[in-house]
Amino acid sequence: MTTSDNRLKSEELLDEIKRHYRAGDVVDVEEERVKIVIFTSGGNRYAFYGSAIREILPACEISWVPSLPEYLPGLINVRGDIESVIDIRYFLGEEGADPVKSHIAMATCGDFHSGVMIDSIEDVVDVPVSTIEPPLTTLGGTARDLVAGEIRYGGETVTLLDIGKLAAKITL
Return all residues near 115 (Cβ < 8 A) that are at least 6 apart: 57, 76, 78, 83, 84, 85, 86, 104, 105, 106, 107
The mean per-residue pLDDT over the stretch 18-44 comes to 77
DSSP code string of 117-161: EESEEEEEEEEEGGG-BPPPTT--SGGGGGEEEEEEETTEEEEEE
pTM of the predicted model as reported, rounded to 2 decimal places? 0.76
Instruction: Look over the chain and give the mean of its residue pLDDT values, rounded to a whole number.
Output: 84
The mean per-residue pLDDT over the stretch 1-23 comes to 67
Q: How confident is the model at residue 142 (pLDDT cuts 50, 70, 90)?
A: low
pLDDT of 26 over the 60 cut: no
Span 87-136, pLDDT tens digits: 998 888 888 777 778 899 999 998 999 999 999 999 999 999 999 998 87
Fold of 33-171: OB fold (Dihydrolipoamide Acetyltransferase, E2P) (2.40.50)
